[in-house]
Amino acid sequence: MNPPTTPTPRSAHAFAGIVTRSQRVKLVSVIAFHWGNDNLNVVPLETELLSVFRDHYGTSTFTIPVNPVNPNTDPHLALFRHLMNHADESAGPNTLRIYVYSAHSHDPEMRGRSWNLTGTLDPNAPVVNWWIIWPYLESYPGPVCYIFDTCSAVSAVFESYNWGEFLGASGWDTNVPAAHNTSFTRALINTLKDMRGENSPLATVYSRLIHDTRSARIAVFPINVSKPRTESVTIGNQDLPGRLAQAAIRNHIRVLLGVNIDSINDPRALDINFWKQWSPQVPGVQPGSIKVEAIYTGSPFVLFSISIEM
């Protein structure tokens, strides 16, 4: 198998021509894969992310390890077989397949002929050339998208890219931190939880994640690349009973409300945790509608956001 033709890569597209509506999603299947040695300890975060997809968004979830240790196993072929088997069983015109990867990768530079995923930074370690695998995933019916938490994640796309929507942890030649609390996956988990299972396009999830970047202390700015001339895919089972559609939820908007603190004699006045505990107790306000965004000690000043029905 030869890699696809890859002219000069880039991380954005001009939306020329007609934008087609995304297919209605009735089922969502999420498959996550990582290297068997897991020297970055990604499994706990991966497991938590899958549980959010499963419990909040009604998706089916799967996880597979790629074993880089067994000398008799070609990791490229092993991963290819796993992903093809999943597609054989899960793909369909109304099924969204989400592929999640967490681990190392090599920067292919601007005119590289391969983008290699790897279990370690050892130059002699086994690798998987992702650019060979993903065209086969897209040969099946139904929408797909990719969520990659790895260094130089935008390397997955290039100038002639015309495949599924991509959400990645980093841009060109950018390393992502190993610390879980400032990782892209941690920020994504928190964003999805905060959205409470809302049916939303992946682009909306990305914008919410960017909005929360400062409070999430995410270390590297993530990227989102849409499939050209196509609407962003919707995360979540749109036909799941009891699920609120995005349009219904968007009848409420959030507005910012700043409050000056007259006295700071009370030590709790500048404690953001105190305000977070206080906000759900405001009389006449629906629980969860007030969110403490920030507290500024110099003024002193507390910034809230509150949900307002339109």
| Domain assignments of the chain as residue spans, ordered by start | 27-236, 254-307
Cα Rg of the chain (Å, integer): 21
**Can you read off the two tokens belonging to residue 231?**
């609407």
The most confident of 183-192, 196-205, 218-227, 275-284, by mean pLDDT: 183-192
Residue 4 contacts residue 161 (beta carbons within 8 Å): no
DSSP summary character for residue 220: S
CB-based burial, 13-43: b 16+ in 10 Å, e otherwise: eeeeeeeeebbebebbbbbbbbbeeeebebe
pLDDT at 285 (0 to 100):
63
pLDDT value at residue 16: 33
Q: What is the DSSP string of 121-137?
A: S-TTS-EEEHHHHHHHH
What integer is the mean pLDDT of 113-126? 81
71's CB contacts (< 8 A; 6+ apart) are none
pLDDT per residue as tens digits for the range 45-99:
999 999 999 988 888 999 988 875 566 778 888 899 999 999 999 999 989 999 9
19-59 residue pLDDT tens: 344 556 788 999 999 888 877 888 999 999 999 999 888 88
27-236: CATH topology: Rossmann fold (3.40.50)
- The pLDDT of 211-239, averaged and rounded, is 73
Backbone angles phi, psi at 305, to 5 degrees: -120, 145
pTM of the model: 0.70
